[in-house]
């Protein structure tokens, strides 16, 4: 699931860069779609990072009392999240102020930092998590995420990660959902999510 979420975030980092490059702010319809795309991207990214900072890194740390190098890696993860926060604010502010020069600069900085962080996490932190966390730990983490997301959050989360996912992967995700939720996602939440134009 971690890779699925990361890929959705990478997808939107590219969508944002493309919209900025195509000067979507100048056309009212495209501007609205850009703002709608950014809104959900920002929210999902912030929720993902909050979930890791609150429920994942502390859980991994319980297994690392005397492993300085691994603890330092988790500290780097937290610092990278902290560095991304003001970059989100910069993109946000440039968008709200319709400042194309500022937006282009803020987008480059934000995208670079986000992509580097996702790669760093996948290369170093995911193998560390996999080596220490038990299946029960992953279940506990998923439970905590579900609780924090709630029903309202799930309405956006599932269509968000499934948007443009390759069919094989989308089928694998859907298969893991309890049947009533699978039906709700496919028949109600995804069509409703698709009603709003995002990015273009
Ligand atoms: Fe992550």
How far apart, in whole angstroms, are the C-alpha atoms of residue 16 and residue 32? 13
Assess if residue 177 is contained within a domain: no
CATH number of the CATH domain containing 29:
1.20.120.520
**What is the residue range of 137's domain?**
2-150
Asked whether the beta carbons of 30 and 24 are under 8 A apart, the reply is yes
pLDDT of 190 > 90? The answer is: yes
pLDDT of 26 > 90? The answer is: no
| Per-position DSSP letters for 71-132, written without gaps between them | HHHHHHHHHHHHHHHHHHHHHHHHHHTT-HHHHHHHHHHHHHHHHHHHHHIIIIIHHHHHHH
Q: What is the pLDDT of residue 64?
A: 85
Assess if residue 187 is contained within a domain: no
How far apart, in whole angstroms, are the C-alpha atoms of residue 34 and residue 134? 40
pLDDT of 81 > 90? The answer is: yes
Task: Tell me how many domains the chain contains.
Answer: 1
Ligand 1 centre to CA of 194 (Å) is 25
Ligand 1 centre to CA of 51 (Å) is 9
- Give the model's confidence band at 106: pLDDT under 50 very low, under 70 low, under 90 confident, else very high: very high
- Give the model's confidence band at 25: pLDDT under 50 very low, under 70 low, under 90 confident, else very high: confident
Ligand 1 centre to CA of 19 (Å) is 24
Averaged pLDDT for residues 3-17: 96
Assess if residue 176 is contained within a domain: no
Assess if residue 45 is contained within a domain: yes
Answering whether pTM is above 0.85, one says: yes
How far apart, in whole angstroms, are the C-alpha atoms of residue 143 and residue 59? 13
Assess if residue 31 is contained within a domain: yes
Assess if residue 17 is contained within a domain: yes
Averaged pLDDT for residues 25-42: 94
Asked whether the beta carbons of 41 and 92 are under 8 A apart, the reply is no
Alpha-carbon distances of 8 from 134, 159, 160, 174, rounded to whole Å: 26, 10, 7, 16
Ligand 1 centre to CA of 128 (Å) is 13
Which residue in the block uniquely carries the two structure tokens 């690392």? Answer: 64
Assess if residue 193 is contained within a domain: no
How far apart, in whole angstroms, are the C-alpha atoms of residue 23 and residue 165? 26
Assess if residue 191 is contained within a domain: no
């Amino acid at each position: 699931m971690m890779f699925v979420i990361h890929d959705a975030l990478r997808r939107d980092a590219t969508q944002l860069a493309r919209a900025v490059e195509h000067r979507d702010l100048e056309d009212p319809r495209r501007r609205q779609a850009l703002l709608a795309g950014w809104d959900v991207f920002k929210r999902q990214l912030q929720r993902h990072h909050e979930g890791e900072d609150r429920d994942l890194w502390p859980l991994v740390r319980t297994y690392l009392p005397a492993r300085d190098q691994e603890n330092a890696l988790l500290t780097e993860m937290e610092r990278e999240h902290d560095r991304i926060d003001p970059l989100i604010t910069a993109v946000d502010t440039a968008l709200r102020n319709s400042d194309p020069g500022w937006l282009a600069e803020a987008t480059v900085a934000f995208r670079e930092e986000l992509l580097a962080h996702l790669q760093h996490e996948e290369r170093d932190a995911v193998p560390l998590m996999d080596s220490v966390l038990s299946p029960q730990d992953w279940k506990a983490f998923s439970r905590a995420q579900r609780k924090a997301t709630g029903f309202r959050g799930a309405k956006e989360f599932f269509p968000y990660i499934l948007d443009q996912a390759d069919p094989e992967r989308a089928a694998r995700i859907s298969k893991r959902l309890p049947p009533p939720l699978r039906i709700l996602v496919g028949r109600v939440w995804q069509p409703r999510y698709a009603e709003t134009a995002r990015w273009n």
